[in-house]
């Protein structure tokens, strides 16, 4: 039976309106990261309304959102102040081009605020539309920076296995998750992947120090192989998010940054997830990891997910060099998007930062974050839990059948089962391979955390019982 033909579009308006939304969606939408084996046949979960840390589907069922939308919903849903900020800006001036020397008040004020919040001399902001376009822009800036100094060969980029940097052609090429490596084509000529730095002290048979030395030796050898004079930059998430909440051994972030600087390689810290409070600070690079990045990428929590927005924070040193070294006959920085630094998005980001400061959201995360991780780690005693890892409000539970470790078909099926039991009981976690990933809104309370862990614990027990 041709399942797609069976759900062929109904051209009469009346019938279209009466068709349930999940059916319409199944017929017409190709979702990001969709399971193609069920295209057109699988009804989507349609989220219809949301308040605080809870969302409601189109059938009226309520869920505790332990995904935080997609790592981005930080202040919670339905914040009047944020809605007002967007509406006010839309009424006053919904859009005007940001190209050339044209600006808007929200974009200029947000850039000033980001310069104050960011570490070191990251005082220049290049706005984009999301995390991917910010990462892509940062790479182009690094390559331009060296090309303008007469080093066009210095275009190679170091990334890591298990990284996730976005969904555009270049950012997917930088990403190193096995699930990304499908039939899509990748840029491989100038992108190089180092080993995944994830270190799990509970499950490793070498010390953190030994692992660190191993990773640093590999990195230095790779720099030597490519030639430092050919490498523009290294891009790294301080803690790998979508790759499975992978934390490097202590000292890795700073040591890799120092190594880059030793060879004149720019260090780009991708804080799309770790920034804006998820680890308890606006930026984790300096305070948590002692880094002095040349650029920081931010998105997601920057607007608390209320509008698509991304930004590259650039050091004064690089910005000045760009201006000084640009070709005299064509000094045009030809990178940017129609909606770069959209005024409505910048207005909501400013309101978001104002609330975060007023309500001391970062302090709250530093308070509840360790509680969240401790409660989750208590689940490690269960047979189907291989490990639990995380830091403040980013965490993941790795499932296994007790045989092979990793994303085997059996382990992935197990995680899917846990996910569907959670969903049944009113909890949304993010299934990825054999992992259940959690990144709740930053306003989460201890009692919400207790509820998340209780439901997850029961779901794990049910999935474990199914195994027997």
Q: Token pair of 108, please?
A: 């200029």
- Closest CB to ligand PLP among residues 435, 463: 435
Residues 350, 107: Cα–Cα separation, whole Å: 9
Contacts of 367 (CB under 8 A, 6+ apart): none
- Closest CB to ligand PLP among residues 85, 299: 299
- Closest CB to ligand PLP among residues 385, 437: 437
The minimum distance between CB 127 and ligand PLP, in angstroms, equals 13
Instruction: Name the residue with the smallest CB distance to ligand PLP.
Output: 131
Residues 416, 414: Cα–Cα separation, whole Å: 5
The minimum distance between CB 244 and ligand PLP, in angstroms, equals 12
How many angstroms separate the Cα of 290 from the Cα of each of 211, 255, 260? 19, 9, 14
The minimum distance between CB 468 and ligand PLP, in angstroms, equals 36
Q: Token pair of 321, please?
A: 């060099």
Backbone angles phi, psi at 205, to 5 degrees: -100, 10
- Which residues face 157 on adjacent strands? 191, 233
The minimum distance between CB 296 and ligand PLP, in angstroms, equals 11
The minimum distance between CB 160 and ligand PLP, in angstroms, equals 12
Residues 281, 278: Cα–Cα separation, whole Å: 7
- Closest CB to ligand PLP among residues 67, 265: 67
Identify whether the C-beta of residue 67 lies closer than 8 Å to the C-beta of residue 439.
yes
**Cα 331 to the chain's mean position, in Å?**
33
- Closest CB to ligand PLP among residues 85, 302: 302
Residues 71, 69: Cα–Cα separation, whole Å: 6
- Closest CB to ligand PLP among residues 270, 398: 270
The minimum distance between CB 345 and ligand PLP, in angstroms, equals 12
Outline where 50-130 has alpha helix (H). 68-71, 80-93, 105-117
Residues 443, 291: Cα–Cα separation, whole Å: 27
- Closest CB to ligand PLP among residues 215, 246: 246
Tell me whether strands 385-391 and 54-57 are parallel, antiparallel or unpaired: unpaired
Identify whether the C-beta of residue 194 lies closer than 8 Å to the C-beta of residue 214.
no
- Closest CB to ligand PLP among residues 154, 165: 165
The minimum distance between CB 135 and ligand PLP, in angstroms, equals 5
The minimum distance between CB 273 and ligand PLP, in angstroms, equals 5
Residues 198, 315: Cα–Cα separation, whole Å: 28
Residues 165, 337: Cα–Cα separation, whole Å: 18
The minimum distance between CB 398 and ligand PLP, in angstroms, equals 18
Q: Could you give the 3-state DSSP secondary structure of residue 9? A: coil
- The DSSP result for 112-150, as a single string, is HHHHHHSSTT--EEEEESSHHHHHHHHHHHHHHHHHTTT
The minimum distance between CB 195 and ligand PLP, in angstroms, equals 18
- Strands across the sheet with 295-298, in order? 124-128, 310-314, 295-298, 266-270, 231-236, 156-160, 191-194
- Closest CB to ligand PLP among residues 68, 76: 68
Binding residues vs ligand PLP (CB under 6 A): 130-132, 135, 164-167, 237, 241-242, 270, 272-273, 299
Q: Token pair of 213, please?
A: 């030395």
The minimum distance between CB 310 and ligand PLP, in angstroms, equals 6
**Cα 458 to the chain's mean position, in Å?**
28
- Closest CB to ligand PLP among residues 135, 438: 135
How many angstroms separate the Cα of 65 from the Cα of each of 61, 450, 453? 12, 13, 12
- Closest CB to ligand PLP among residues 67, 418: 67
């Amino acid at each position: 039976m041709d399942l797609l033909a069976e759900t062929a579009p109904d051209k009469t308006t009346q019938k279209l309106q009466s068709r349930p939304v999940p059916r319409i969606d199944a017929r017409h939408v190709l979702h990001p990261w969709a399971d193609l084996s069920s295209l057109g046949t699988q009804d989507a979960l349609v989220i219809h309304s949301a308040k605080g840390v809870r969302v409601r589907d189109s059938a009226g069922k309520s869920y505790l959102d332990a995904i935080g939308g997609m790592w981005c919903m930080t202040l919670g849903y339905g914040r009047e102040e944020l809605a007002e900020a967007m509406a006010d800006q839309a009424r006053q001036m919904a859009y005007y081009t940001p190209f050339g020397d044209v600006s808007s008040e929200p974009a200029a004020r947000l850039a000033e605020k980001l310069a104050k919040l960011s570490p070191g001399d990251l005082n220049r902001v290049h706005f984009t539309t999301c995390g991917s376009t910010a990462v892509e822009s940062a790479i182009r800036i690094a390559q331009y920076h060296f090309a303008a100094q007469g080093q066009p060969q210095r275009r190679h980029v170091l990334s890591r296995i298990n990284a996730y940097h976005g969904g555009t052609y270049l950012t997917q090429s930088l990403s190193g998750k096995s699930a990304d490596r499908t039939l899509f084509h990748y840029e491989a000529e100038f992108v190089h992947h180092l080993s995944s730095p994830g270190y799990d002290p509970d499950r490793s048979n070498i010390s953190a120090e030994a692992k660190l030395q191993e990773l640093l030796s590999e990195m230095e050898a790779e720099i030597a192989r490519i030639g430092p004079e050919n490498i523009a930059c290294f891009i790294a998430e301080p803690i790998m998010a979508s790759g499975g909440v992978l934390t490097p051994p202590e000292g890795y972030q700073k040591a890799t940054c120092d190594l880059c600087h030793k060879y004149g390689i720019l260090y780009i810290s991708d804080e799309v997830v770790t920034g804006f409070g998820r680890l308890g600070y606006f930026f984790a690079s300096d305070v948590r990891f002692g880094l002095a990045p040349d650029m920081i990428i931010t998105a997601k929590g920057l607007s608390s997910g209320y509008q698509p927005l991304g930004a590259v924070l650039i050091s004064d040193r690089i910005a000045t060099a760009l201006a000084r070294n640009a070709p005299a006959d064509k000094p045009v920085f030809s990178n940017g998007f129609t909606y770069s630094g959209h005024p409505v998005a910048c207005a909501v980001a400013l309101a978001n930062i104002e609330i975060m400061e007023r309500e001391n959201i970062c302090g709250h995360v530093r308070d509840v974050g360790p509680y969240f991780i401790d409660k989750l780690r208590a689940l490690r005693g269960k047979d189907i839990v291989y490990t639990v890892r995380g830091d403040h409000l980013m965490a993941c539970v790795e499932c296994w059948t007790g045989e092979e470790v990793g994303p085997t078909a059996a382990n992935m099926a197990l995680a899917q089962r846990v996910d569907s039991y959670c969903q049944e009981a009113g909890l949304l976690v993010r299934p990825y391979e054999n992992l259940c990933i959690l990144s709740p809104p930053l306003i989460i309370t201890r009692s919400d955390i207790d509820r998340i862990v209780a439901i997850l614990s029961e779901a794990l027990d049910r999935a474990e019982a199914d195994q027997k």
